[in-house]
Structure 1
Amino acid sequence: MNIQLEQLYGIWRHEHNGVITDFNVRVYDEQHHTGLSMFTIFKWADEGSEIIYEWHGIPEIINYPDQISDINLHHLISTEENLTYLKIWHFTITY
């Protein structure tokens, strides 16, 4: 799999059983090929959104021949410790 960071620019959302997962590449720097991103898992409550898990950081795509790509995170600020990567399990573009 060969994914470039530019391909992830935007908001990627998945909802299942009332739990929403957002992966948002908010800023992309073409000169340095870096993006400031946010990953949030939340659900809606009477008081508004209830965050289950969240991080902010700079993603880097690591591609491997004949394997699923990794997303390594740099300058990570998160609600839980020891998160080091995200695995891309499924990549589909819908309009």
Structure 2
Amino acid sequence: MYVVTVIFEPHAGQMEAFLPLMLENARLSLADEPGCHRFDICLSEDGNRVFLYELYTDEAAFGQHVETVHFKAFDRAVADLVAQKTVKNYKLL
């Protein structure tokens, strides 16, 4: 299994606009992508960061994820809302 973690730090005052877009991307990923097994969204205690834990069958399934229409639409929609994005990849043991 292939794990992807992402930390989003939206610009000040943009979390309210960001979260519904993030939730919809996660919903569509789980519903439409057979290779996406988990898509957890976590909000930091201070409400300034969003942490994602995504689980895919393999790296190819994640590659398919980033090519989907819904992911590309999400990525475009949040581009101006996000100050920083950190992505890390892991192999589940």
- TM tier relative to shorter chain: 0.3 to 0.5
The structure richer in strand per residue is 1
The structure richer in helix per residue is 2
> Which of the pair has the greater relative contact order for Cα pairs under 8 Å at 6+ separation?
2
| TM-score computed with the length of structure 1 as normaliser | 0.34
